[in-house]
Amino acid sequence: MRPSLEPCPLQNPIERAAFDCVQGLVNVGPQTSKSTGGNVLIPHSHLIFDRWAQRYPEATRSLGGEDFFKIPPTDDLLSPSADHLLRVGKGNEMRGNQMEWAEKMTDQQPARRPIVCLLERGDILLWDSRTVHCSTPGELELDQRPKEGGNESAGGAEASGEESELLRAAAFVCMVPRHKASTKVLGQRKAAVRSRVTTTHRPHLYQPSHEYDSYRALPTELVRRFHTPNEEPTLSPLEARLVGYSQAEIEEGRHRESL
């Protein structure tokens, strides 16, 4: 079973052509492997980010206020991916010609070969937001996937036991210097947490998820599957700092105030 890439979304190549933020995820689920699939990155692809607007002018202009541009799966940058995914992770280090290939990657000639970073529970994966990134399902059929209670390594060795329903779980993170967020945005972030409003992954802008056209287009029956917590969250000092409270505000107990 060949791995296939899901649509690869990128930040808007017209409105955000320069470096914007560091994206990433923390693997909170089981250890990933060939059978679970994982997140795919194309090394050095951020160096050709300015080419997407030139290559797909109509598609990028039609984005309007939307953040994400999806690279067509037929683009030749993605064409080698189905047969040449390079898996990098603990227990699955690059060897031989793979290492030679990696050493030849330069800023002048960006690498085209995608990699899948195999993650253990608690690992964090970070990338420049201009980097081509997406997801791939596992290479093995359902009856070959790892069993619950087994001890599958990042290299893909399987063990016996009951089949697990959960293959992958991750918490997405995004990081920028604090100074990129205005005082207004910091205030909006604090209010959003108290009101239980979710936002997009860009912490230095206030973009409520429910205001996106893509969210508004969701079927009503799908939206009803989700609910807003009744209670305001209780923030620890560390969580308050991530929301946008200053150290002085935390010492004054401002992060514990209700709306």
3-state DSSP percent of the chain in helix, strand and coil, to 5: 25, 20, 55
CA distance 155 to 92: 5
| Beta strand ranges found along the chain (DSSP E) | 8-11, 22-27, 38-41, 68-71, 86-89, 115-118, 124-128, 133-136, 147-148, 162-163, 170-175
Q: Return the pLDDT at 163.
A: 55
Q: Return the pLDDT at 92.
A: 45
Q: Return the pLDDT at 4.
A: 52
Intra-chain end-to-end CA distance of the chain, in Å: 53
If we measure between CA atoms, which residue out of 51, 23, 52, 50 comes closest to residue 39? Answer: 23
CA distance 181 to 149: 44
Q: Return the pLDDT at 95.
A: 39
**Across the beta sheet with 38-41, what order do the strands follow?**
86-89, 115-118, 38-41, 133-136
Q: Return the pLDDT at 200.
A: 81
Q: Return the pLDDT at 81.
A: 42
Q: Return the pLDDT at 216.
A: 85
Q: Return the pLDDT at 209.
A: 84
Q: Return the pLDDT at 162.
A: 53
Length of the chain as a residue count: 259
If we measure between CA atoms, which residue out of 210, 45, 241, 209 comes closest to residue 127? Answer: 45
Chain centroid, CA 55 distance in Å: 24
Average pLDDT along the chain, 259 residues, taken 10 residues at a time: 55 84 91 83 84 87 78 70 46 40 41 78 92 79 48 43 70 87 95 90 87 84 84 91 93 86
Place of tokens 């202009």: 61
Alpha carbons within 13 A on the beta-carbon side of 163: 8
CA distance 148 to 85: 26
Q: Name the residue ranges covered by the structural domains of the chain.
A: 8-171, 177-256
Q: Return the pLDDT at 140.
A: 55
